[in-house]
Structure 1
Amino acid sequence: MSQFDSIRPYQDSEVKSTLKRLINDPEFTSTLIKFRFPRARGAFLALTSFALRQVLKFKVRNVNKVYDFQVMVERYMAHMVKTTTSQLSSSGLDHLDLSKPHLFISNHRDIALDPAFVNYILHNNGQDTVQIAIGDNLLTKPWVADMMRLNRSFIVKRSASAKREKLANLKELSAYIQHTLNETGDHIWIAQREGRAKDGLDITNSALISMLALNKPKEQSFAEYISQLNIVPVSISYEFDPCDLAKANELVEQNEHGEYQKQEHEDIYSISRGIVGQKGQVHVHFAEPLSGEYESAKEVAEALDKAIIGNYQLMPTNWIALGDAIPEGIPANELANAKRYFEAKSRDVSAEVRSQLYAMYANPIKARQQLSE
């Protein structure tokens, strides 16, 4: 049994059995149907579930490897990009030696799409896809875990409460990441912090860097170990966030009541909303790998913040939300579209939610301005 069996992605030998388990899971098929037909019940749900299972069996009949599954997913990803974005662009890849495995650390705005866009861009540039770090808090259903691990996701165990167990999980994760980079030779994607930046402020949690360093040999310097990880800061910019109102409502509730109670499986619905919602322009920038004589996790986190915030592509929505002088060169029609977007979004919400909505879009500019001070 492998040292990392409890957290690693599924392997080729596990693909067929996992797909069979998924297709025969009534909750999996009914969930897919309810995304399209929310009120599906009784005989209609049973009939459509049966039909869906037959369709799925046909679609995956030739899926024997993880690569086959990802090729199938790529077709749906291409359709999503075509129908929900006005433009997907990238920059910085030409500065990377992708023959070496890299640890991509990005800002975190969307649960599923952040790594999906990184994967899609790498794939379209002739590169292998990344292994994706995903928190076990998202794996509320067995079928969700199966889907994620089929798509090369590995599990970050966050549910432990005892300190000893937490430390053991962190050490396992640190060892797995180093093993994957050095032995397997795969790229890895991980978010700069747990949870999405709902307020639009992309700040790296230095605890992430401390976790990465848990597997550092005693005789090796901290700076050398960090350098060998080939950490690439990644900035993912969305013109429109399909989950923006939900995020604004959550932040307002936290401010007013001190906490926010998530609904059951709320993250799964956020994933769905992010996938199907309109995103406008999306840009992904890959910075050069971190290099420096870093002496602490805090210094590495600050370097990540500087690169991620500094390379975030500011959108018309950011400038309209800020409300200050708008720089020249932004097309007037894009600014007008951004203004209409906010007018439509804030039409039926409270003043507090409206203020929070504008703030989350304005914050990337404010963060950039603070960098230059």
Structure 2
Amino acid sequence: MGEFDAIRPYADAEVPAVLARLLADQAFLDIITHFRFPRLAGSFGWLLKPLIAHRLRREFNGIDSVVKLQDKVEPYVDRTIERATDGISYSGVEQLQAGSAYLFLANHRDIVMDPAFVNYAVYHAGLPTPRIAIGDNLLQKPFVSDLMRLNKSFIVHRSLSNRRDKLAAFQLLSAYINHSIRADGESVWIAQAEGRAKDGDDRTDSAILKMFHMSRKDEPFAAVIGELKLTPVSISYEYDPCDQAKARELYIRASTGSYTKVPGEDDQSIALGITGYKGRVHISFCAPLSAPAEDAKQLAQDIDRQILTSYRLFPVHYLAYAQWSERDPALAVPSAAELFPAAELAAAQREWQKRLDACPTEQRPYLILQYANPVRNQYRIKAGLEL
């Protein structure tokens, strides 16, 4: 057994066997059947599942590598992504060089779509897609683990409770990320913090930066980070399909002091995040850090400034900020009407009002917060203030 076998993505030689296992997995076929035929799956699922399995086996026959699999599914992924958006744009990808591997550190709003949009941008720029860090809490079903590891995902063990086990897991994770970039020449995507930024306040956890260094403690921190070509990535959603659920969770946490997920909640978030309306989406690749700070906390603040200033603000963000009870009057934030054409602003006002109307009154401040925080953060940086 190899050093990284417990967490690494599947290798090319494993692809045919894993595909065969997936196409015999009844839970996986159930999901595909409900997704493809939502009205018929209940009554005729027993008939549809064998037909779908047969078609998938025929379509994926001869797929014997991860690249071939990605090329095969990319058109389907693109259609799914594009159906739920009003357009995807990206910037900074021209700074990435073919043949180089990067450590993409991104803000985190959606479980599946954050890395999917980074993959979309990189793939369409003609570059290899990165390996994706994914928490083991999302891999409770065997077919989900197989799907993710086929798509270059590697596992982050977050559900460990024993301190010694956690330390060993982070040591292994650090070694794998360094090995992927330095030895395999494969880029890595990882979120800037554990868990989504449900309040729209994107911040880098310095503990993650320290983790990158754990397996190379005998080397200077800044040298290790520089060698990994750490590249901040800012992913901007005009609308978050999960914003209502996030507002509810924030309200319950504020009211009771805690929040407990119900079984299947992550699955619902994943499905809604993939298929729900997002408006426009922008992915901004910042320049790889050439002279990272020696201190992890300082480096986290430097990364935050890049991610927050690169975040694309849409009309809805300014509309929410204008309604936010905690907005800072000292910040020179213009109104949405000063920045956007009338037709664009009117469409945003209609969509924003629809979201407000769908949100229970007591939860609305937490809906507003999600869209207002990016404005506050960006204009505080512009004003030279601390975050």
Using the size of structure 2 for normalisation, the TM-score is 0.92
Q: Post-superposition shift, 1:99?
A: 2.8
The whole-number CA distance in structure 1 between the counterparts of 2:226 and 2:244 is 39
Q: Percent identity?
A: 44
| Greater displacement, 85-94 / 37-46 | 37-46
Counting only pairs closer than 5 Å after superposition, residues 273-352 of structure 1 correspond to structure 2 as 273-292=272-291, 294-323=293-322, 325-326=335-336, 328-352=338-362
The letter of the residue matching 1:276 is: T
What is the SS of the residue equivalent to 2:204?
Answer: coil
Other-structure match for 1:94? 94
Change (3 A) 1:40 1:90: same
Change (3 A) 1:341 1:327: closer
Using the size of structure 1 for normalisation, the TM-score is 0.95
Residue 271 of structure 2 corresponds to residue 272 of structure 1: yes
Q: Post-superposition shift, 1:9?
A: 0.3
What is the SS of the residue equivalent to 2:161?
Answer: coil
The whole-number CA distance in structure 2 between the counterparts of 1:299 and 1:29 is 48
The letter of the residue matching 1:362 is: A
The whole-number CA distance in structure 1 between the counterparts of 2:371 and 2:73 is 30
Other-structure match for 2:367? 357
| Greater displacement, 37-46 / 345-354 | 37-46
The letter of the residue matching 2:92 is: G
**Partner deviation per Cα, 1:170-228 (whole Å, 9 max, x = no partner):** 0000000000000000111000011111110000111101111101241x221111111
Residue 207 of structure 2 corresponds to residue 207 of structure 1: yes
The letter of the residue matching 2:298 is: E
The whole-number CA distance in structure 1 between the counterparts of 2:82 and 2:147 is 23
The whole-number CA distance in structure 1 between the counterparts of 2:356 and 2:191 is 29
Other-structure match for 2:121? 121
What is the SS of the residue equivalent to 1:132?
Answer: strand
Residue 169 of structure 2 corresponds to residue 169 of structure 1: yes
Counting only pairs closer than 5 Å after superposition, residues 120-269 of structure 1 correspond to structure 2 as 120-218=120-218, 220-269=219-268
Q: How many residue pairs end up in the alignment?
A: 372
| Greater displacement, 289-298 / 108-117 | 289-298
Q: Post-superposition shift, 1:38?
A: 5.8
Q: Is the 8 A contact 1:320 1:335 kept in 2?
A: no
The whole-number CA distance in structure 2 between the counterparts of 1:326 and 1:189 is 33
Change (3 A) 1:296 1:62: same
| Greater displacement, 8-17 / 321-330 | 321-330
Other-structure match for 1:70? 70
Change (3 A) 1:98 1:365: farther
Change (3 A) 1:285 1:43: closer
What is the SS of the residue equivalent to 2:197?
Answer: coil
What is the SS of the residue equivalent to 1:14?
Answer: helix
Q: Is the 8 A contact 1:107 1:235 kept in 2?
A: yes
Q: Post-superposition shift, 1:349?
A: 2.8
| Greater displacement, 257-266 / 281-290 | 257-266
The whole-number CA distance in structure 1 between the counterparts of 2:362 and 2:92 is 38
Q: Post-superposition shift, 1:96?
A: 3.3
The whole-number CA distance in structure 1 between the counterparts of 2:5 and 2:216 is 22
Q: CA RMSD in A?
A: 1.7
Q: Is the 8 A contact 1:290 1:303 kept in 2?
A: no
Q: Post-superposition shift, 1:39?
A: 7.3
